[in-house]
C-alpha cells in the first residue's frame, strides 16, 4: 500500500472526527469512527440520524499521504474501515444500507483499491479469515488495484497463509491459477511473498501453488523452500522424474547448489529414476551387473583406488533403448549387460538423471564454491558422485597424470644435473686443476644445469597458458570472479615463478623454491589414488585447524623475544641476529643456556618461557592435531570427493576453451609418446653429447613439446562435455548403476533367517 505519512496535528473542525487508520490521521464522521471501532450500535445510530442512510454510507473520510516524494490526498468509505479491521457485523449493516462493495479508496484522485483489498491488507497485518469469507459470499470481485496487484498479491505481501489458501479455493472455482497473473511490472504473488519477508520457509512452501512455475520461483528466489515444496508436489500430483526435469536446466541446478546444496540434492533425487525401457521383452534392464574391471584402464585404477560404488555413463538418451528391427541395443549398454567381465555380480539398480548436461563448468563451479565448504554432505548424492567419478576417469585423470609426470621428470632433471655438476667439480679438485680450469669446469657444469632450468621454466610458461585458459573458461560461463580464489591465485603465482629462470638462471632463491614446489607436486598424484589420498589428505588439511594455535604461539614468541631484548639492554646492532636466534633456540627447542646467567631476572624469564612453551604450547599443539586428525579422518571420503571435484572443475573450464577434438584419444596417445621421445632426445643431446653447446633455443623447444603433450592429453572427441564451436552437445544425461538397497523389512527378515540358520548349525555341531 502507500507509504505512511506523518500524522496530522490539526484540530477537529466542522463536527468532523479524527482517528488513526493505517498509520495515518484521518478526518471523517461519527459513522467512520463507529466503523473503525466495530461499534454496530453507534454505526446504526449515525445512519439513522442522517437525512438519508444511503447517502451517509457514501460519505468519505480523508487523509494525506506521501507517495513517490509527493504529498497526495486520499479518501475512502466507512466500509473500507470496517473491512480492514475485520468487523463483519458493521460491514453487513453498511451493505444493508446500500454501501457499494466495489467502492474504492482513492489516491491523488484516482481509484486505488476496493473493499476486498482493504480486507486483505488489513493495515499490513493480513486479513481476517471470517471477513474475507463473508466478502466472497457477498460476491466481491477479485480485481487489481492501481499498482496492478490482485488480492492474492496482497495476501502474500502480508504473509497470511490461511487467507491465501482460501483465495486459492475461490480461484480454483473460477479456473484461475497463479500463472494467469502475468504482468512484467508486478511480481508473481509467490515472489512478492518471498520479497516481503513475512513468511517462513515452511509457510512459503505450504502456501505455494502446486505448479512448475512455483518451483521456478523458488529456484531463483528461495531455494531453501524446494525440499518441502517437492514433498507436497509429488504427494499431490502423479508425475515422474522426466516430467519434472523438463522444467530444469543445468543452470538451475548450479544456481540452487550455490544457495542450498540440500535443495539441489532434493531436485536431483526427484529428477532421477528408473529409465523408460523401450523393449522389456527383448532388452529389459539388467537386474544383476558385473562390477569387475572392464579394461586395462579399470585395472590400473584399482591399483590405488577402492572398487567403484557406481558404474557410470554419460549418454545422449534418457531411456533404455532397443532397435526392434535390427534386434540390437546401443553399444554402451554392453558395459552393463555383458556378464563376461566376471565377478562380482551384484543385484543392481540402474538410474538416470533426467536433467540434461549437468557435467559442465557451471555445475562443478557451484559444487566447489567456498560457501559449500562447511558441509560436504551433498557429495553423498548419487548423481553428484557419479558425475564427479565419470568426469574424472573419462577425461580429468589423464590430464592430472600428465601434470604429475611433468613434475616427476623435472625433479629428476634437477637432481641429475646437480649431481653431474658436483661430480665434475669433484673430479677437477682431485686432479689438482688450477683455479682457471676449475672455473671453466664449473661453467660447463652450470651450462648442463641450464637443461633442467629451461625445462622447469618452460613448464611454468605452459602452466601460465593453462591458467589463462581456465580464466577464460570462468569468463565464458559468466563466473569470472570465481577465478579469484586463493588456490587459483596461488597456482598462478607458482606458474609465474619458474619463468624467472629465463631471466636469471642463477637465482638461488627461485631454484630453492622450485625444488620444494616440485617435491610437493608429487603429492598431486593422490588425486588419482584414493587409497593414498585418504591417508594423506587429513595430514594436509591439519594446517587449517592450526591457525588459531599458531597465532597464540606467534604472540607468545614475540612477547618473550621482546622481554629478552629488554633484559639484555636493547641496542640496534645485534637485536635480530642475536636475540631472535637465541629466543628461537630457547623457546622452540627448549635449549637452556650453557651456564646460568648472573642476572636472576633473565634466568627466571628463561625458565618461565621454556615451561610455557614445552608444557602449555606443546600440549595445545598435540591436542589440536589429535582432534583435527580424528575429524579429518571421519570426513576424508567427502573431503576427497571435494578434492576430485575441484580437479574436474579445472579440467572442464579448460576443456571449454581448448580445442579437444583435433584427433582421437589413440592418436593423441601416439602424439604424446613421439613428443616425449623428442624432448628426451634433446635433453640427452645437451646433457651427454654437446656439453656447453648453444642453448638459446632449448627453452622454446621444451615449451612447444610440453604444450603439445598437454594439448594432446585433453583430446577426447567423444566426450559430451567437450565444446564444439562454443556450444555444448545438448541433452546428455548421467546414468549410474549401483548396488540395490534391501528395504528395512526385507533386511530384518534376512537377518532373522541367518541367525536361525546359525543356531541350527550350532546345534548340529
Handedness of CA 268, 273, 277, 278 (dihedral sign): negative
pLDDT at 756: 53
Cell numbers for 600, please give them. Answer: 636472576
pLDDT at 429: 44
**Residue 180 pLDDT level (bands cut at 50, 70, 90):** low
421 or 547, greater pLDDT: 547
pLDDT at 1: 40
Give the three-class secondary structure for 204: helix
pLDDT at 273: 93
> Which string of DSSP letters, residue by residue, matches 484-536?
-SHHHHHHHHHHHGGGHHHH-TT-HHHHHHHHHHHHHHGGGGGGS-HHHHHHH
- Domain boundaries in the chain? 1-147, 439-527, 544-636
pLDDT of 466 above 90 = yes
**Residue 644 pLDDT level (bands cut at 50, 70, 90):** very high
My answer on whether omega of the bond before 344 falls inside 30° of 0, hence cis, is yes
CA 736/CA 289 separation, integer angstroms: 12
pLDDT at 87: 95
Q: Which residues neighbour 222 within 8 Å (Cβ) at sequence distance 6 or greater?
A: 194, 201, 204
> What does each C-alpha distance from 116 to 122, 153, 157, 187 come to in angstroms?
10, 12, 15, 20
Q: Which residues neighbour 646 within 8 Å (Cβ) at sequence distance 6 or greater?
A: 368, 487
List, in sequence order, every residue forming a beta bridge with 288; answer none if it has no partner. 347
Mean pLDDT over 198-222 rounds to 91
Q: What is the pLDDT of residues 385-444, one digit of tens each?
A: 999 999 999 999 999 999 999 999 999 988 887 777 655 445 544 555 444 444 444 444
Mean pLDDT over 685-703 rounds to 73
pLDDT at 443: 45
Q: What is the pLDDT of residues 716-728, one digit of tens each?
A: 888 887 754 344 4
pLDDT of 320 above 90 = yes
Which helix (H) or strand (E) element contains residue 264? Answer: helix 261-270
Show the CA angle centred on residue 237, arms to residues 120 and 158, nearest 5°. Answer: 15
**Residue 99 pLDDT level (bands cut at 50, 70, 90):** very high
Taken as a whole, the chain contains a residue count of: 765
> What does each C-alpha distance from 410 to 115, 416, 462 come to in angstroms?
81, 10, 13
CA 276/CA 529 separation, integer angstroms: 36
**Residue 367 pLDDT level (bands cut at 50, 70, 90):** very high
pLDDT at 179: 64
pLDDT at 77: 93
Instruction: Please check whether residue 186 is in contact with residue 147, taking contact to mean a CB–CB distance below 8 angstroms.
Output: yes
CATH no. of 1-147: 1.25.40.20
Q: In what order do the strands lie in the sheet with 110-113?
A: 17-21, 24-28, 61-67, 70-76, 105-107, 110-113
Q: Which of 352-361, 487-496, 585-594, 725-734 has the lowest mean pLDDT?
A: 725-734
Share of the chain above pLDDT 90, in %: 41
Buried b / exposed e across 505-533, counting CB within 10 Å, b at 16+?
beeeebbeebeebbeebebebbbbebeeb
60 or 748, greater pLDDT: 60
* Averaged pLDDT score across all residues of the chain: 84
Instruction: Please check whether residue 8 is in contact with residue 19, taking contact to mean a CB–CB distance below 8 angstroms.
Output: no
List, in sequence order, every residue forming a beta bridge with 276; answer none if it has no partner. 319
Mean pLDDT over 197-217 rounds to 90
Share of the chain above pLDDT 70, in %: 86
**Residue 559 pLDDT level (bands cut at 50, 70, 90):** confident
CA 319/CA 454 separation, integer angstroms: 53
Mean pLDDT over 30-53 rounds to 90
> What does each C-alpha distance from 260 to 245, 257, 335, 444 come to in angstroms?
18, 5, 35, 62
Q: Which of 561-565, 592-596, 724-728 has the lowest mean pLDDT?
A: 724-728
On the 0-12 / 13-18 / 19+ scale of CB atoms within 10 A, 286 is middle
pLDDT of 744 above 50 = no
**Residue 62 pLDDT level (bands cut at 50, 70, 90):** very high
Residue 344: which of 290, 282, 421, 407 has the closest Cα? 290
Mean pLDDT over 453-465 rounds to 92
80 or 561, greater pLDDT: 80
pLDDT of 5 above 50 = no
Give the three-class secondary structure for 546: coil
420 or 604, greater pLDDT: 604
Mean pLDDT over 207-222 rounds to 91
Tell me which range, 180-194, 651-665, 687-701, is most confidently predicted by mean pLDDT.
651-665
pLDDT of 119 above 50 = yes
pLDDT at 9: 34
pLDDT of 75 above 60 = yes
Q: What is the pLDDT of residues 226-283, one digit of tens each?
A: 999 999 999 888 888 999 999 899 999 999 999 999 999 999 999 999 999 988 888 8
CA 762/CA 476 separation, integer angstroms: 68
pLDDT at 423: 53
Amino acid at each position: 500500500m502507500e507509504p505512511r505519512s506523518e500524522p496530522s496535528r490539526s484540530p477537529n473542525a466542522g463536527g468532523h472526527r479524527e482517528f488513526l487508520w493505517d498509520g495515518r490521521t484521518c478526518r471523517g464522521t461519527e459513522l467512520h469512527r463507529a466503523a473503525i471501532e466495530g461499534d454496530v450500535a453507534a454505526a446504526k445510530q449515525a445512519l439513522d440520524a442522517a437525512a438519508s442512510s444511503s447517502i451517509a454510507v457514501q460519505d468519505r473520510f480523508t487523509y494525506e499521504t506521501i507517495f513517490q516524494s509527493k504529498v497526495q490526498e486520499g479518501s475512502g468509505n466507512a466500509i473500507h474501515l470496517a473491512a480492514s479491521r475485520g468487523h463483519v457485523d458493521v460491514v453487513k449493516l453498511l451493505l444493508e444500507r446500500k454501501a457499494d462493495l466495489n467502492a474504492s479508496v482513492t489516491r491523488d484522485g484516482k481509484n486505488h483499491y476496493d473493499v476486498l483489498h482493504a480486507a486483505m491488507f488489513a493495515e499490513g497485518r493480513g486479513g481476517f479469515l471470517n471477513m474475507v469469507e463473508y466478502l466472497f459470499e457477498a460476491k466481491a470481485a477479485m480485481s487489481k488495484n492501481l499498482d496492478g496487484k490482485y488480492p492474492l498479491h496482497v495476501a502474500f505481501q502480508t504473509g497470511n497463509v490461511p487467507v491465501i489458501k482460501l483465495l486459492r479455493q475461490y480461484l480454483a472455482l473460477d479456473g484461475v491459477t497463479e500463472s494467469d497473473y502475468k504482468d512484467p511490472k508486478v511480481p508473481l504473488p509467490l515472489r512478492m511473498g518471498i520479497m516481503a519477508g513475512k513468511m517462513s520457509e515452511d509457510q512459503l512452501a505450504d502456501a505455494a501453488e502446486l505448479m512448475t512455475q512455483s518451483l521456478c520461483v523458488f529456484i531463483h528466489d528461495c531455494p531453501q523452500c524446494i525440499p518441502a515444496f517437492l514433498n507436497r508436489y509429488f504427494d499431490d500430483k502423479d508425475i515422474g522424474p522426466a516430467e519434472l526435469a523438463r522444467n530444469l536446466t543445468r543452470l538451475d541446478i548450479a544456481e540452487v547448489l550455490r544457495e542450498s546444496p540440500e535443495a539441489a540434492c532434493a531436485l536431483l533425487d526427484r529428477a532421477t529414476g528408473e529409465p523408460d525401457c523401450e523393449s522389456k521383452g527383448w532388452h529389459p534392464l539388467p537386474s544383476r551387473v558385473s562390477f569387475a574391471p572392464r579394461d586395462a584402464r579399470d585395472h590400473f585404477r584399482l591399483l590405488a583406488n577402492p572398487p567403484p560404488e557406481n558404474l557410470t555413463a554419460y549418454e545422449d538418451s534418457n531411456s533404455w533403448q532397443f532397435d526392434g528391427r535390427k534386434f540390437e541395443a546401443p553399444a554402451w549398454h554392453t558395459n552393463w549387460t555383458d556378464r563376461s567381465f566376471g565377478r562380482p555380480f551384484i543385484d543392481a539398480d540402474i538410474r538416470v538423471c533426467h536433467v540434461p548436461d549437468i557435467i559442465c563448468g557451471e555445475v562443478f563451479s557451484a559444487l566447489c564454491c567456498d560457501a559449500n565448504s562447511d558441509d560436504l554432505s551433498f557429495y553423498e548424492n548419487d548423481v553428484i558422485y557419479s558425475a564427479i567419478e565419470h568426469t574424472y576417469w573419462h577425461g580429468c585423470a589423464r590430464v592430472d597424470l600428465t601434470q604429475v609426470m611433468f613434475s616427476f621428470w623435472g625433479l629428476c632433471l634437477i637432481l641429475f644435473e646437480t649431481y653431474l655438476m658436483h661430480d665434475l667439480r669433484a673430479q677437477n679438485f682431485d686432479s689438482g686443476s688450477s683455479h682457471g680450469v676449475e672455473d671453466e669446469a664449473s661453467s660447463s657444469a652450470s651450462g648442463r644445469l641450464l637443461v633442467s632450468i629451461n625445462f622447469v621454466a618452460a613448464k611454468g610458461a605452459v602452466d601460465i597458458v593453462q591458467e589463462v585458459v581456465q580464466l577464460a573458461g570462468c569468463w565464458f560461463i559468466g563466473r569470472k570472479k570465481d577465478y579469484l580464489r586463493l588456490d587459483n591465485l596461488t597456482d598462478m603465482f607458482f606458474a609465474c615463478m619458474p619463468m624467472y629462470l629465463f631471466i636469471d638462471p642463477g637465482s638461488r632463491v627461485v631454484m630453492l623454491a622450485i625444488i620444494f614446489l616440485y617435491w610437493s607436486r608429487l603429492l598431486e598424484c593422490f588425486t588419482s589414488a584414493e587409497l593414498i589420498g585418504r591417508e594423506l589428505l587429513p595430514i594436509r588439511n591439519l594446517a587449517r585447524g592450526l591457525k588459531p594455535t599458531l597465532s597464540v604461539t606467534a604472540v607468545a614468541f614475540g612477547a618473550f623475544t621482546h622481554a629478552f631484548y629488554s633484559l639484555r639492554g636493547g641496542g640496534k646492532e645485534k637485536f635480530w641476529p642475536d636475540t631472535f636466534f637465541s629466543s628461537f633456540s630457547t623457546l622452540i627447542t627448549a635449549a637452556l643456556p650453557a651456564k646460568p646467567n648472573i642476572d636472576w631476572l633473565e634466568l627466571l624469564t628463561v625458565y618461565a618461557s621454556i615451561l610455557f612453551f614445552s608444557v602449555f604450547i606443546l600440549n595445545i599443539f598435540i591436542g589440536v592435531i589429535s582432534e583435527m586428525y580424528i575429524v579429518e579422518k571421519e570426513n576424508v571420503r567427502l573431503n576427497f570427493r571435494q578434492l576430485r571435484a575441484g580437479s574436474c572443475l579445472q579440467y572442464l573450464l579448460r576443456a571449454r576453451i581448448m580445442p579437444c577434438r583435433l584427433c582421437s584419444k589413440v592418436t593423441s596417445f601416439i602424439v604424446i609418446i613421439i613428443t616425449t621421445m623428442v624432448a628426451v632426445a634433446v635433453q640427452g643431446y645437451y646433457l651427454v653429447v654437446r656439453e656447453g653447446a648453444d642453448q638459446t633455443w632449448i627453452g622454446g623447444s621444451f615449451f612447444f613439446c610440453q604444450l603439445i603433450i598437454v594439448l594432446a592429453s585433453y583430446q577426447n572427441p567423444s566426450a559430451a562435455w567437450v565444446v564444439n564451436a562454443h556450444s555444448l552437445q545438448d541433452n546428455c544425461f548421467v546414468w549410474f548403476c549401483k548396488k540395490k538397497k534391501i528395504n528395512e523389512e526385507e533386511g530384518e527378515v534376512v537377518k532373522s533367517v541367518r541367525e536361525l540358520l546359525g543356531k541350527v548349525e550350532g546345534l548340529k555341531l
